[in-house]
Amino acid sequence: MTEKNIDIRFKEYSSLDELEASDRELADAAIDAMKGSYAPYSHFNVGAAVRLSNGEIVQGANQENAAFPSGLCAERTAMFAAGARYPDKAMTSIALAGGVMGRLAKSPATPCGACRQVMAQYQLKGGRPMSVIMIGDGKIWKFDSVDDILPLIFDSI
């Protein structure tokens, strides 16, 4: 038996101003996308923004439904829109922000497992790492690859 270790590195920023310009733009787009949230049940507004290899940004927000599973998270709303609109472009980064009443929560918004799996698939499709930026009020985390938030990605079929 050999004991193994998975080392996950990420960057923490204390202000959006510390981000490099293109990440800052994407983070602002994710925060702006919170306006499109439709969350009559959870009242938790999430916005996401995907950066494509051509520089375009595609936004999404969580969309809830009375039949709960019919709703969709902000990240998948953004990624599916980006995938449908720009099928030939890699997704190079995704940012997400969440909070109640349109106000950013203190802790960074972290993607659910299903969204991580979808990120993994589009990262594989794009053939290059997709960075993930999680935004909170005064705390921002940046992971350089989806592998860092979904170790041992399922991609066997």
The residues binding ligand THU (CB under 6 A) are 39, 42, 44, 46, 62, 64, 71, 73-75, 111-112, 115
Judged by beta carbon, residue 4 or residue 154, the one nearer ligand THU is: 154
* CB-based contacts of 69, cutoff 8 Å, min separation 6: none
In angstroms, what CA-CA distances link 7 with 10, 18, 19, 30? 10, 24, 23, 28
Instruction: Tell me how far, at minimum, the Cβ of 133 lies from ligand THU, in Å.
Output: 13
Judged by beta carbon, residue 53 or residue 145, the one nearer ligand THU is: 145
- Residues tagged active-site: 75
Instruction: Tell me how far, at minimum, the Cβ of 68 lies from ligand THU, in Å.
Output: 9
In angstroms, what CA-CA distances link 131 with 26, 38, 63, 92, 112? 11, 26, 24, 6, 16
Instruction: Tell me how far, at minimum, the Cβ of 28 lies from ligand THU, in Å.
Output: 18
Residue 120 is inside which H or E element, if any? helix 113-126
Judged by beta carbon, residue 50 or residue 74, the one nearer ligand THU is: 74
In angstroms, what CA-CA distances link 116 with 3, 103, 123? 26, 24, 10
